[in-house]
């Protein structure tokens, strides 16, 4: 049974909404980071779905969406590494990972 493009787009929209809700409603910095990662994965799903449904005759396959998804995964891995390093540094200085309590302008 083949799934249509609409089902993948609905899945991507639901995942993006869950990630957006998690990123905006949580106060823990790690939870906000997880919400951002869910949003990036939703974008990857939609890119692969569009890439597999729209075939360009100039390219020899359906790899355009997958290539963009690999670049997004690479950027997400770098973003997660930098963000976790920043969270650890802030935790060592402030002893909290609560987003509301982190204000680097105050001493």
70-92 residue pLDDT tens = 999 999 999 999 999 988 988 88
Distance CA 74, CA 81 (A): 11
42-78 residue pLDDT tens = 999 999 988 888 766 666 566 778 888 999 999 999 9
Give this prediction's pTM: 0.83
Please state the domain extents for the chain. 5-94
CATH code: domain 5-94 is 1.10.287.3510
**Hunting for tokens 């990857």 — which residue is that?**
44
Distance CA 34, CA 22 (A): 8
Distance CA 6, CA 54 (A): 13
Distance CA 62, CA 64 (A): 6
Question: What is the separation of C-alpha 62 from the centre of its chain, rounded to a whole number of angstroms?
Answer: 23
Beta bridge partners of 98: 28
């Amino acid at each position: 049974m083949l799934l249509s493009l609409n089902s993948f787009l609905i899945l991507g929209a639901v995942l993006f909404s869950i990630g957006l809700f998690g990123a905006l409603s949580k106060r823990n910095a790690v939870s906000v980071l997880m919400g951002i990662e869910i949003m990036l994965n939703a974008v990857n799903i939609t890119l692969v779905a569009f890439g597999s449904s729209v075939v360009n005759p100039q390219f020899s396959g359906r790899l355009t969406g997958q290539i963009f998804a690999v670049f997004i995964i690479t950027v997400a891995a770098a973003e997660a590494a930098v963000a976790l390093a920043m969270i650890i540094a802030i935790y060592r200085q402030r002893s909290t990972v609560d987003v509301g309590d982190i204000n680097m302008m105050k001493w």
